[in-house]
Amino acid sequence: MGSFIRLAIRQMDVQFRMRVLSLWSLGLYYIQPAIFSAVGMLLSRAAGNSSPDLVYTVVGAGMMGMWSGLVFTSTYDIRTDRREGTLEIIVGSPTSLRRVEGLRTLLNILAGLSSLVVAVLAAVLIFDYSFANVNIAGTILALLLILLGLWCMGVFLANFLAWSRVSGTVVDLMEMPMAILCGFMFPISVLPGWLQKVSGIFPIRWALEGMRDAMNGTPLAQPLIIKLLISLGLSIAFLLLARWFDGKVHDHIRVTGELHSI
Amino acid sequence: MPVQDHVPAIITTSLSKTYKTKQGFWKRTTKNIEAVRDVSFRVEKGELFGLLGPNGAGKTTTVKMLSTLLIPSSGSISIFGLDIMKDTREIRKRIGFTFGGARGLYGRLTGIENLRYFAELYALPPEVTRKQIPELLELVGLTGRGDDKVETYSSGMQQRLHLARALLHDPELIYLDEPTVGIDPVGARELRATIKELKSRGKTILLTTHYMAEADELCDRIAIINRGSLVALDTPYALKQLISHESVIELRFSAAHSDEVNQVIDSTSISLKKTTIESNGQKSMEIRTVESGEIIELLSPLLTSRVIQSLEVHNQTLEDVYVAIIQSGEK
């Protein structure tokens, strides 16, 4: 356990200095969500809408920051490792790639969480948004489930990057569609019926719905709890899928020699 | 898992590796590339074993299979009696590896930060890491540069940091894949000295290199691999004997003494082959023979009387042997 904690601290330290402290990350975590947030709020205000729509834009902008940060940093990590030759060093060590990726993804999500904080601050300070009716317990619980859902999906998707150089493109292409499918900026109800069903497999969609409900004052009762439980169940399913996939990836890359890019 | 002491460090049996590559966009075709074919050898504990071969011969693929980074298509590998497929994690704890070139390090981190990070991947206790890192930096000649970012290192320094990284967990078996490639002669010499030091500490080392002099200087035994197959395996001395026992005697004398020298050489019944070149009134003669001792004895009066100005004897070098083996394989 001690060695795991030391690895976690070291991994996060390396990750923080290699990825988070960069101009690129600044744009990814703060500037891009701020633009989303401002445009959404201006549109909402122009349409004469009240606070429930602001919840969409505030939380949605924060989610965009977290999700984009997760997709790009996690994909970039493995690509860089593959290009720099460090992927071979990691895979050839007694520590599993799954563990390394899990820790990296965790830091990427925690760094992305600051996007949500910035979006909320922008809503309060610039757009006079009030949190008077917020169900704090429900919001915190939903936020934790969003983080869990993002982490489980992140470790699952990281396997695509490790699988081959080409398959990582699939993950890149998921950035915007996921924002739509999980209702980051718009309610799921505006999507066609079949797309709503597709969106149902993603844990963050349910946790996000729960968070918005809680932020709009919905009590921590049956409808909200069910959404949160669905999110939890789907997160666990993604985690199990990631674990199964990880074993396949470990064998696959050692058969194909896809550990390095030169 | 207990490991027996008498077992060899490495045993490979009929090792093969075939890559499948897909070609074409609309009509996809699969092509099989046989990188390693039926390679068998063993490396004893404490041995420094060289793997030589031209580019694309299968050296790096072999090393990657030995270091658990590639799964063989067929055949088996045993490392300290452990099976590469079943005991992967245990083997990884006991081996260290470096691949040639400057890749494999985080350029934005310092040398020490890189070593600390990789030490955590081997779950080294902090007290061991604290002790090991300065010692290793000293061993590879990077003391005083550990706090500099790796992106500011020369390729030679990066190679040396690679070696330090590979040694962090004090592995018993070390794979060094072209460790001196891209390093200046002084750096290469220092690195060879470090490799000798590691051998003297009882480490088993598998070295791949393009430099024959390096292999000749360092290795106890050498395997030559060409087009994926093992074509020769022996000590450097025995390999040199393998091709021919022939030596080359080089003579220099004045053109005025040409008849005198030729007369002595032609008087012997010893089998030899001579070639003479004349330039500016000076003659140089190359004599190829397996009985160099007798020829030198025959020529010694001419040396004493200064008819022959200089005499040098060259034995077959490992490079001669290597080229002969590789070329015979090409034919």
Position B316 scores a pLDDT of: 74
Query: Which H or E run includes B289?
Result: strand B282-289
What are the per-10-residue average pLDDT scores of chain B (331 residues)? Answer: 71 93 75 91 96 90 94 95 93 91 84 93 90 92 91 88 93 92 82 91 93 90 93 89 77 89 89 84 85 88 89 81 76 56
Query: What residues in B contact A10, CB-CB < 8 Å?
Result: 116-117, 120
Cβ distance of B109 and A14 shorter than 8 Å: yes
Position B331 scores a pLDDT of: 56
| Closest alpha carbon within chain B to A99 | B121
**Residue from the list B69, B107, B109 with its beta carbon closest to the beta carbon of A91:** B69
Using a CB–CB cutoff of 8 Å, tell me whether B113 touches chain A.
yes
| Closest alpha carbon within chain A to B73 | A255
**Residue from the list B70, B107, B165 with its beta carbon closest to the beta carbon of A257:** B70
Cβ distance of A92 and B120 shorter than 8 Å: no
Burial of B218 (0-12, 13-18, 19+ CB in 10 A): buried
**Residue from the list A11, A100, A254 with its beta carbon closest to the beta carbon of B70:** A254
Please tell me the distance in Å from A179's CA to the nearest CA on chain B: 31
B59 token code pair: 């050296």
B88 token code pair: 């992967």
Distance from C-alpha of B329 to C-alpha of B241, rounded to nearest angstrom: 18
Cβ distance of A93 and B121 shorter than 8 Å: yes
Position B2 scores a pLDDT of: 47
Q: Give the count of alpha carbons within 13 A of A97, CB side only.
A: 33
Contact A80, A72 (CB under 8 A): no
Contact B54, B18 (CB under 8 A): no
Domain boundaries, chain A: 2-256
| Closest alpha carbon within chain A to B35 | A257
Distance from C-alpha of B42 to C-alpha of B77, rounded to nearest angstrom: 10
Using a CB–CB cutoff of 8 Å, tell me whether A172 touches chain B.
no
Using a CB–CB cutoff of 8 Å, tell me whether A100 touches chain B.
yes
Please tell me the distance in Å from B165's CA to the nearest CA on chain A: 10
Query: What residues in A contact B31, CB-CB < 8 Å?
Result: none
Number of other CB atoms surrounding residue B232 within 10 Å: 20
Amino acid symbol at A11: Q
Cβ distance of B19 and A256 shorter than 8 Å: yes
Position A6 scores a pLDDT of: 84
Strand, helix or coil for residue B42: strand
- Residue A113's alpha-carbon distances to A205, A238, B296, in angstroms, are 16, 21, 84
Residue B42 backbone dihedrals phi, psi, to 5 degrees: -135, 150
Distance from C-alpha of A117 to C-alpha of B57, rounded to nearest angstrom: 56
> Could you tell me how far CA A17 lies from the centroid of its own chain?
20
Strand-by-strand arrangement of the B282-289 sheet: B273-279, B282-289, B247-254, B308-314
Residue A216 backbone dihedrals phi, psi, to 5 degrees: -90, 10
Query: In chain B, what are the domains?
Result: 10-242 (3.40.50.300), 245-315 (3.30.70.260)
| Closest alpha carbon within chain A to B66 | A92
Using a CB–CB cutoff of 8 Å, tell me whether A254 touches chain B.
yes
Contact B248, B241 (CB under 8 A): no
Nearest alpha-carbon partner for A146 in A212, A199, A99: A212
Contact A33, A120 (CB under 8 A): no
A55 token code pair: 């919840």
Please tell me the distance in Å from A68's CA to the nearest CA on chain B: 23
Using a CB–CB cutoff of 8 Å, tell me whether A90 touches chain B.
yes
Cβ distance of A255 and B70 shorter than 8 Å: yes
Distance from C-alpha of A174 to C-alpha of A75, rounded to nearest angstrom: 12
Helices (H) and strands (E) in chain B, counts: 11, 14
Position A262 scores a pLDDT of: 43
Rg, Å, chain B Cα set? 25
> Could you tell me how far CA B190 lies from the centroid of its own chain?
16
Position A52 scores a pLDDT of: 54
Strand, helix or coil for residue A147: helix
Position A54 scores a pLDDT of: 66
Using a CB–CB cutoff of 8 Å, tell me whether B123 touches chain A.
yes
Using a CB–CB cutoff of 8 Å, tell me whether A166 touches chain B.
no
B302 token code pair: 């001419």
Burial of A95 (0-12, 13-18, 19+ CB in 10 A): buried
Using a CB–CB cutoff of 8 Å, tell me whether B54 touches chain A.
no
Query: What residues in A contact B123, CB-CB < 8 Å?
Result: 3, 6-7, 94-95
Buried b or exposed e, range A220-247, using 16+ CB within 10 angstroms = beeebeebbebbbebbeebbeebeebbe
Please tell me the distance in Å from A135's CA to the nearest CA on chain B: 42
Position B237 scores a pLDDT of: 85
Could you read off the pLDDT tens digit of each residue along chain A, which spans 262 residues? Answer: 677 888 888 888 887 777 767 777 777 777 877 777 777 777 777 776 655 566 777 788 888 888 887 887 777 788 888 888 898 999 999 998 888 888 888 888 888 888 888 778 877 887 777 777 888 999 999 999 999 999 999 888 888 878 777 777 777 777 788 888 888 877 888 888 898 899 999 999 999 999 988 988 888 788 899 999 999 999 999 999 998 988 888 888 888 877 765 4
Q: Computed from CA positions of residues A22, A27, A30, A33, in that sequence, does the dihedral angle turn out positive or negative?
A: negative
Distance from C-alpha of A171 to C-alpha of A175, rounded to nearest angstrom: 7
Cβ distance of A6 and B19 shorter than 8 Å: no
Cβ contacts from A onto B, under 8 A: 83
